[in-house]
Amino acid sequence: MLNQLRAQCVSKGPAMLRFPLRLTPFTVKKVVLQQLLNWQFRHAVEEGELDFLTGRWLGVEITDLALNWAVSLDDEGRLQVALREQADVWFRGNANDLVLVAARKVDPDTLFFQRRLVIEGDTELGLEVKNLMDAIDLDAMPGPLRIGLLQLADFVEAGLNEDAISQGNRAGESC
């Protein structure tokens, strides 16, 4: 029973979150995203690992949440978030897949070749971003962020697996 509930939360959760996210003003989302990104990537910024983003925009779209933003590095070495239609490169995927990628539960190349992760635009910039993401050490991530991400990824992974098992158990049953 709990496993089925988890599977339903994972499959229907993004649709349920879409409405409150749509009502949340972008200025609120921007503040939260900028704080999280600058917190997570403070060492990478200090070491110049994100200099390739100066004056360039990385767009992120979470398709099933109807949520998107763009990130750039300003001249003062801070990550800035903006609502932009144009970006140098776009990363697009659904919420569950992106959580699993961030927690290293799924390889982004696998999702890319399955067309579940879409990278459009400047391929060189996209490759630099992907390589940076691959190089992130989860243990170096701030504790609360790492723990939350890993717990969410475990929940999503178990929910997706339960959903697949449930679907398979229904073979031969009438509709």
Residue 133 pLDDT level (bands cut at 50, 70, 90)? confident
C-alpha R_g of the chain? 18
Closest CA to 59 of 48, 68, 67: 68
Residue 44 has φ and ψ, to the nearest 5°, of: -65, -40
Give me the residues paired with residue 90 across strands. Answer: 59, 120
Third-level CATH fold of 1-160:
Nonspecific Lipid-transfer Protein; Chain A (3.30.1050)
Do the Cβ atoms of 61 and 67 come closer than 8 Å? yes
* CA 64, 18, 152, 46 torsion-angle sign: positive
The secondary element (H helix, E strand) that includes residue 58 is strand 58-62
What whole-number distance in Å separates Cα of residue 164 and Cα of residue 175?
17
Q: What is the mean pLDDT of residues 130-157?
A: 89
pLDDT per residue as tens digits for the range 47-96:
999 999 999 999 999 999 999 999 999 999 999 999 999 999 999 999 99
Give the rounded percent of residues in the chain with a pLDDT score beyond 70.
Answer: 93
Whole-structure pTM value: 0.85
Per-residue pLDDT, 170: 44
* Residue 175 predicted with pLDDT over 60: no
Angle at 141 between CA 26 and CA 120, to 5 degrees: 50
Per-residue pLDDT, 46: 93
- Orientation of helix 143-169 relative to helix 26-40, angle to 10°: 110
**E-only strand ranges, the chain:** 58-62, 67-73, 79-82, 89-93, 117-121
Q: What is the mean pLDDT of residues 134-155?
A: 89
Per-residue pLDDT, 137: 82
